[in-house]
Structure 1
Amino acid sequence: MTTNEWVIPFYKNQFEWLRDIEPEMASYLQKDAEKIEEQIGARFESMLDIGAGIGSIARALDAHGITMTTLELVPELVEASRLRSPKTIDIHMGDFYTYTFPTQFDVVSYFDGFGIGTDDDQLTLLKRMKSWMKNEGFALIDIYNPNYWRTIAAGQKMKIDEAERIYSFDEENCRMIDSWWHNENPEEVVTQSLRCYTVDEISALCKKAGLTITGIFPGGAMDFDKWAYTETAALSSCLSYRIKLIKTT
């Protein structure tokens, strides 16, 4: 299995075009780390974060005493993570469809990115995440909500630092489409496409992988008319929701 061709160029360019706002996000990342611990609801010591980007959330959890391991595909993001992270974080570069780990973890997470590829790809990934979880472990995954991307975000365009972006929605395949270009090169567009799932759809997919959802946590939503972000929205209107999973079998 090969990762979609858009993945590396999209996230590489997104990283290069955005200014470094991590220092400004310190308090937010601290709150997110606390939220993750609250959502797990049990003591855990080790965690694998896949699709980890530059490792921001891993550093926040490392500061809480969690033994963190990360996996990221894009070389530029891995390099940035290694430059910024303490030696206590075990940083890996590779494709989560093929990479292997010699150990299991109390928690396996995938934040802000689930939905790359087909439903079969997602099923394969869920099975792999299950294999990385300890028997009494948990998984946390952010799932994109189709209602938000279909009815609220589609057609919205914005400028962000050196880039511009526009959202659209692929109704036939139930995918959010997020297209970016540098403001000096509007003809060179990079696009991410992520499968969105209703709660029933993702529950059925998890069941096939031998996983059971034990918690659902709605995320935030953007009010584009007021240009205001609400950190927690209703499940029906949030841009994504987080699910907590345990092993079924």
Structure 2
Amino acid sequence: MYWVEDFYSRTGQWWGRAEARLTDRDHHRVSLLHDHCGGAPKRVLELGAGYGATAVATAQAGHMVTAIEISDRIDFVDGLARDVSPGALGVIKDDFYTVRLDRPFDVVCYWNGFGVGSDADQRRLLERIATEWLRPGGAALIDVSNPFVWARWNGGEEHLMPAPERGYDHELHERTTFDPVSCVAVDTWWEASSPHQSISQFLRCYTPADLMLLLAGTGLQLTAITVGDRTFTPTPQPGLAELLHEHHEYLAVLRHNG
């Protein structure tokens, strides 16, 4: 996972002026938290918080939030948190594989980031959630990359022109590939002026069945899946278009299997 801090810090420099803000996506995530965990105030841990926008929206909704992010993206959070009540949001710039926290949480969230590293890395993180961070009866809400859609994007390329009026200052290229053996999507970016200085992120994708195998022995169980606006139990769903064609990730709801 040597690439993680550099990739997200550099892309944050490219896009932060445009994207470090609260959007409908952040408020939708808070709605998902309420749908699956109830709306009463809770202690929430957010892993891989990025710019911190969802953490801010969660704190604004009345929850006590601890946000962890390793990259420089989190440096934008102060500009977003002006309306957050004092003490409602704590930010830790650290690696969530090694950080130590001194209290349990009602909810652990990992929005749009799970799959960084090997299966062993994911399992180690899931075990930390179950044994160190999540209180009994709590839930983990984790976005999981969907291999069906990422595989369809294999070989895709984009050329993005600057749009300074919207906060995008760089001319960029993107190439997406997908390895069907390892089930890893590789998302590569480079500036048009520096084609030989590309950076990539590597995302291990999991079908719901693969995720249930990964969860074995971690202390967590998959109890529900949300794809788009639809939530269902992890039972056979033949021809489910949302997973097969429409959404590049799904939300896994995990609870202690004991």
TM-score (normalizing by structure 2): 0.84
**What's 1:196 paired with?**
205
**Equivalent residue, structure 2, for 1:224:** none
Q: SS at 1:53's partner residue?
A: coil
Establish whether residue 166 from structure 1 lines up as the match of residue 162 from structure 2. Answer: no
Query: Which 5+ residue runs of structure 1 have no aligned equivalent?
Result: 221-232
Q: State the secondary structure of the residue aligned to 1:188.
A: coil
Moved more, 81-90 or 11-20: 81-90
Preserved contact between residue 115 and residue 122 of structure 1 (Cα < 8 Å): yes
Selected match of 1:16 from 13, 16, 19: 13
Question: In 2, Cα distance between the equivalents of 1:8 and 1:159?
Answer: 24
Choose from 187, 199, 212 the match for 2:221. Answer: 212
Shift of 1:38: 1.4
The aligned residue for residue 71 of structure 1 is: 68
- C-alpha displacement of 1:41: 4.2
Q: CA deviation at 1:170?
A: 1.6
The reply on whether 1:236 has 2:244 as its aligned counterpart is: yes
Q: Which residue of 2 aligns with 1:37?
A: 34
After the TM superposition, which of the residue ranges 31-40 and 99-108 deviates more from structure 2? 31-40
CA distance in 2, matches of 1:184, 1:33: 39
Partner of 2:196: 187
Q: 2 CA distance for matches of 1:218 and 1:165?
A: 26
Count of residues in Structure 1 that have an aligned counterpart in Structure 2: 232
State the partner residue of 2:142. 141
Three-state SS of the structure 1 residue aligned to 2:200 is: strand
Match of 1:225 in 2: none
Q: Give the CA deviation at 1:207.
A: 2.6
Higher mean alpha-carbon deviation, 27-36 vs 135-144, is at 27-36
Which residue identity lines up with residue 183 of structure 1 in the other structure? A
> What is the RMSD of the two structures over their aligned residues, measured on CA atoms?
1.9
Which has the larger displacement, 64-73 or 82-91? Answer: 82-91
Q: Deviations over 1:119-153 (max 9, x none)?
A: 11110000011120011110000111111111x21
1:27 matched to 2:24? The reply is yes
Q: Distance in 2 between matches of 1:38 and 1:67?
A: 18
- Contact map agreement 2:20 2:51 (CA 8 A) in 1: no
CA deviation after TM superposition for structure 1 residue 44, in Å: 4.8
Q: Distance in 2 between matches of 1:28 and 1:113?
A: 15
In the superposition, relative to structure 1, how do residues 43 and 99 fare at CA in structure 2: closer, same or farther (>3 Å)? same
Following TM superposition, the consecutive aligned residue runs of length 4 or more in structure 1 with deviations greater than 6 angstroms are: none
CA drift at 1:39: 3.0
Q: Which residue, 44, 48, 72 being the options, matches 1:47?
A: 44
What code does the residue aligned with 1:73 have? I
Local SS of the residue matching 1:103 = coil
Name structure 2 gaps, 5 residues minimum.
161-167, 230-240
Which whole-Å deviations, capped at 9, do the CAs of 1:129-183 have from their partners, x for residues lacking one?
A: 1120011110000111111111x21111123442221111022211011001112
Task: Give CA-to-partner distance per residue, 1:62-121, whole Å, 9 cap, x none.
Answer: 1110111101111x2232223432443100011111111000000001111111111111
